[in-house]
Structure 1
Amino acid sequence: MTIRTTHVGSLPRPKPLLDLLAARQRGDDVADDVLADATRTAVADVVAAQREHGVDVVTDGEMGKLGFFSYVTERLGGLERRPGAETVYSFAAEQEAFPDYYERYFAQAMMGGTVGTIEPVVCTGPLVYQGQAALQRDLDNLAAAVDPSEAFVPSIAPSGVGVNEYYGSEEEYYFAVADAMNVEYRAIVDAGFTLQVDDPFLTEIYSFHQYDQPTRERRGRMYVEAINHALRGIPTEKVRFHTCYSINEGPRVFDVPLADVIDLVLAVDARYYSFEAANARHEHEYHLWETVTLPDDKVLIPGVITHASNIVEHPELIAERLERFARLVGPERVMAGADCGFSSQASFVPEVDPTVMWAKFDAMAAGARLASSRLNAVR
């Protein structure tokens, strides 16, 4: 038995690609074939680097996307960017509790150095999937670099697609998004890859919004029902579900306990569940699996390295983290992962330095080998 390694998806883009993306955002004349070649090269290089640093189940690092949720405005018709509009993201509770910290943080880190502006997205017309060509380029680039059976492709959850101004109800809107995103989800799986549905918005309604508990529960169920609607017709074993807490490095005192949302998480029609477990706000939550029964056909991907710190985790600590989960749910149902992506937006100044990130991956691979050896010795 060997514990395999993976991560969440986004990785720092190389500077030549960032320069081209920034030039295009400025309105400079950047030839399509030049950008396509740079993206293809970046994907090949980042896949090779993942392999070199011990990652078993790889991805394209989201090289072809400006951001993990902003890309959807290119893929779906019926959306428009609108500066100053309401946004699906809200850090109000944290920002009010730590105003000085978050003023610096959003200026310098999470929003600093990004290639594209992060603007609210509004639905103003009927939603239709129009991103077939862009998606096919992403899939072709990754398939050229790795066997699809050893790779995953992230895609946004319906709950992350902007604010509704067109449909008659929130439920109608999210199911319309799900219908449109089903096109992308199916194409990813049909190409042989595993689909990863990214949804930090599920925990966000519990962590930051000032909803009462019945509203939180209603919206949480609606989010999950929309995901499952988008996944219809897709084999469960080809689906990973990732949720996190929307903020990278910060006090994080308003993060919802995993115990409060675990029933919703496990209700998603996926085989693999990826979640934060390496940072200081969530490492203790492995105890949850002492009382929560993981269905027999499910696999956990707890974060054993974090995107919220430039400290490189020691392989011994990583091994301990993996062994805790393995003892509770079985070693064959644990993979080593990261808390979240390392560059959710294309940025010249990612919060975790790329050289540190690769050292984290090295440590994860070493920790997974160590845990595997120890667990095999006692079987």
Structure 2
Amino acid sequence: MSAVTIHTTTAGSLPRSPELVAATRALETAEDGFTLIHTPEYTELAATAVRELVGRQVEAGITIVGDGEYGKAMTTAHDFGAWWSYSFQRTAGLELPGPDAAPPAPVRSEPGAPRLTSMTDRRDWVAFAEAYGDPTSGVLLGEPPFWPLTTGDLAYRGHDHVAADTANLRAALDAHGLERGFITSLAPGSAARIGNTRYASDEEHIWAWADVMREEYRAIVDAGLTLQIDDPSLAESWDQINPEPSVADYRAFLRTRIDALNHAIEGLPREQVRLHLCWGSWHGPHTTDLELRHIVDLILEVNAGEFSFEAGNVRHEHEWKVWRDVDLPAGTVLQPGVVSHATNVVEHPELVADRILRFAEIVGPEGVVASTDCGLGGRVHPQIAWAKLRALGEGARLAAQRIGG
């Protein structure tokens, strides 16, 4: 028997049961219009759901489990934004625009000073407008998002929520005899993509979010769990700047986001921090995605011990070669996606093993944790999602056998 182990994990979101979605939808909303008021019955339901979810992950062959983002409100079966919008309920200083509020004035990015201008008309969406507008095309965007504005001083108010998240996962780990688990949390750069009327600049807004999210990061780490920081803004924002910036200008645009994130995780154990990078989980062509090679060195400046990224979908699979040419900090663990949220086709375990072995040849088997490209919950049908996780578990076992001879 092989003495080699290839660990497996997920990128966060996993399918919620219809009962949990319905219970979330039934919660009352607070006066701010978007904060859901949890009830004791809902809290008990969520705890039970996390415990059952962890058991199902173990059965599928997942060795480093998460809570499926069950603590982040998701009220529809297809919700691509819960990983982000949950933060609105945990942060003071936000306000929903009134029903008669005028739409934001059009803005344009300027050379040398890129700024987000196209949150709702990304260049990929414009280039493939016919496909995106055709409900029979199979291109999915999920439910329409809602974004509040930052109108006051930002402050974290989610202490009870994150405490429930960590307690639920810790109890589930104990119930199944596990030690390692992770919870996702939002990066400052991604959080700050909402509108802002309070802070004088985008930079000031991002740094304010860094101080907010630091409280949640600390709570997760202090609970003995791994903190996964979700930051699609590092790669995805490229497609939300019009006109398209130069690579040099975009790298400068990322500098504040990298620095603010490092400030937010300062003092946290590097081995308990992992960064998740992706190009957005909606199902579309993604032809305007930025190439990883342009920013990988900046990503590695984040003081995380593990890096989660898309390596299984057909737009980014070839980029495994980028990792051969970078200098990784000592002890860095790569978490490549080897099954994808972007297709209903379930990957063959042999293909999963091949993908894992590419990275094992670069960093050794101990430096690889096989994962999903992005969250599966709300992206593919639950039956397909669990089939993908079983393929992930089986592929990891095959890869370990090949390495062990």
Do both share a fold (TM > 0.5)?
Answer: yes
Q: 2:12 matched to 1:9?
A: yes
- Does the 8 A contact of 2:141 with 2:283 survive in 1? no
Taking the TM superposition and a 5 Å limit, the aligned residue runs for 1:199-214 are 199-210=231-242, 211-213=244-246, 214=248
- Distance in 2 between the 1:55 and 1:247 partners? 21
1:187 aligned partner, one-letter code = A
Evaluate the alpha carbon distance shift between residue 39 and residue 295 of structure 1 in structure 2; reply closer, same or farther with a 3 A threshold. same
Q: CA deviation at 1:7?
A: 0.7
In the other structure, the counterpart of 2:45 is 38
- Distance in 1 between the 2:135 and 2:260 partners? 32
Unaligned runs of 5+ in 1: 344-349
Q: CA deviation at 1:110?
A: 4.6
* TM-score, length-scaled by structure 2: 0.85
Evaluate the alpha carbon distance shift between residue 232 and residue 255 of structure 1 in structure 2; reply closer, same or farther with a 3 A threshold. same
Would you say how many aligned residue pairs link Structure 1 and Structure 2? Answer: 367
Q: 2:72 matched to 1:61?
A: no
1:80 to 95, 105, 119: 95
- Distance in 2 between the 1:110 and 1:26 partners? 27
Q: 2:217 matched to 1:190?
A: no
In the other structure, the counterpart of 1:339 is 373
Taking the TM superposition and a 5 Å limit, the aligned residue runs for 1:147-158 are 147=174, 149-158=179-188
Q: 2:164 matched to 1:132?
A: no
RMSD: 2.3
- Does the 8 A contact of 1:289 with 1:329 survive in 2? no
Q: CA deviation at 1:291?
A: 1.6
* TM-score, length-scaled by structure 1: 0.91
Taking the TM superposition and a 5 Å limit, the aligned residue runs for 1:42-121 are 42-66=49-73, 67-82=82-97, 84=103, 89-104=119-134, 110-112=140-142, 114=143, 118-121=145-148
Identity of aligned residues (%): 41
- Does the 8 A contact of 1:11 with 1:342 survive in 2? yes
1:250 to 284, 287, 305: 284
Which is further off, 249-258 or 181-190? Answer: 249-258
- Distance in 2 between the 1:110 and 1:74 partners? 26
In the other structure, the counterpart of 2:349 is 315
Taking the TM superposition and a 5 Å limit, the aligned residue runs for 1:171-320 are 171-210=203-242, 211-213=244-246, 214-320=248-354
Q: Secondary structure of the equivalent of 1:187?
A: helix
- Distance in 1 between the 2:6 and 2:61 partners? 12
**1:312-335 CA deviation, whole Å, 9 max, x = no partner?**
100110111011111122221111
1:20 to 20, 23, 36: 23
Evaluate the alpha carbon distance shift between residue 372 and residue 24 of structure 1 in structure 2; reply closer, same or farther with a 3 A threshold. same
- Does the 8 A contact of 2:185 with 2:227 survive in 1? yes
1:70 aligned partner, one-letter code = S
Unaligned runs of 5+ in 2: 31-35, 74-81, 106-115
- Does the 8 A contact of 1:199 with 1:243 survive in 2? yes
In the other structure, the counterpart of 1:346 is none
- Does the 8 A contact of 1:200 with 1:243 survive in 2? yes
Which is further off, 158-167 or 54-63? Answer: 158-167
Q: Secondary structure of the equivalent of 1:146?
A: helix
- Does the 8 A contact of 2:15 with 2:385 survive in 1? no
Evaluate the alpha carbon distance shift between residue 177 and residue 106 of structure 1 in structure 2; reply closer, same or farther with a 3 A threshold. farther
- Distance in 1 between the 2:205 and 2:293 partners? 28
Higher fraction of helix: 1
- Distance in 1 between the 2:183 and 2:140 partners? 23
Q: CA deviation at 1:90?
A: 4.5
- Distance in 2 between the 1:145 and 1:212 partners? 46
- Does the 8 A contact of 2:28 with 2:37 survive in 1? no
Q: Secondary structure of the equivalent of 1:68?
A: helix
Q: Secondary structure of the equivalent of 2:8?
A: coil
